[in-house]
Amino acid sequence: MSNLLELEDVTKNFGAVRALRGINLTLRPGEVLALIGDNGAGKSTLIKVISGAIVPDGGRILFEGREVHVRRPEDARALGIETVYQDLALFENSDVAQNLFAGRELVRRILGVSFLRKAEMHAESARILSSLKIHIRSTNALVKQLSGGQRQTVAIGRAVTFSQRIVILDEPTAALGVPEQEKVLELVQQLRADGYSIVLISHNLEQIFRVSDRMHVLRQGETAGVLNRSETTPEEVVQFITGAKRHAH
């Protein structure tokens, strides 16, 4: 299977701190790749490189086999890469439809004046939520009225609205109760079934083993191991996280 996204020998330093050291990462079409490691392992820096929020000091990024330059979030979006960070970046006092189309609103111009195409935005939002099996009573509901799990699914829905290929999820089930975690995990599986490639950061090994295909373990800015879910165990993954084992590619 050809790789959709490849990182080759990617490095990033912050002053004297080497955040990433020669990272080689592959993401295949239609797979869930879990990014695992302790705090400070380099996970956040790595997804920010992929999403264009950070420019690496060295290395290459390839998309569908050709080298690309991802120097800002707009570059990543042009490739069909969207990221849902832990803070979600939702607008609390806006409704679901406005959040789904935030920054990319549908407008019509009449005599030089722009008007939001609200009815179309709500209709399209309802279609998007339905296609993802996200159940929210109304696209008119304000985000501040939603539960934590509903907010997470709206943020993922917004990413999917504009992503054609890759969705990066940063700890999507953190701070959620068990029923809402289940809904988010179902959504991850739905996205994979729909053909999206997903990079999933999570500390929850049980959830990772449920939804991921492969696991890329980082330790102190380096790749500790890349493991197929079907060929490893939680105990072995912990050994890679702690440094007791290294490099199984």
pLDDT in tens, 132-151: 888 899 999 999 999 999 99
Residues in the chain with pLDDT values less than 70: 1, 247-249
Residue 247 located in a structural domain:
no
Q: Domain for residue 60, yes or no?
A: yes
Report yes or no on 67 lying in a domain: yes
* Residue 219 and residue 53 in contact, taking contact as beta carbons nearer than 8 Å: no
Query: How many contiguous H segments (helices) and E segments (strands) does the chain have?
Result: 8, 12
The pLDDT assigned to 154 comes to 93
At 220, give phi and psi (nearest 5°).
50, 45
What's the confidence (pLDDT) of residue 248? 52
Helix (H) / strand (E) containing 49: helix 43-51
Whether 118 is in a domain gets the answer yes
Rounded to whole angstroms, the Cα distance separating 155 from 158 reads 5
Residue 248 lies in a domain: no
Give the CA count within 13 Å in the CB-facing half-sphere of 181: 14
- Looking at the structure of the chain, the number of domains it has is 1
Q: Give the pTM.
A: 0.90
Position 103 scores a pLDDT of 81
**CATH label of the domain that carries residue 201:** 3.40.50.300
Predicted local confidence at residue 49, as pLDDT: 97
249 belongs to a structural domain:
no
Is 96 inside any structural domain?
A: yes
Assess if residue 178 is contained within a domain.
yes
Q: pLDDT, tens digit, for every residue of 196-219?
A: 999 999 999 999 999 999 999 999
Query: What domain range is 97 assigned to?
Result: 5-242
Question: In terms of C-beta density within 10 A (0-12 exposed, 13-18 middle, 19 or more buried), how is residue 117 classed?
Answer: middle
192 with 31: CB under 8 angstroms? yes
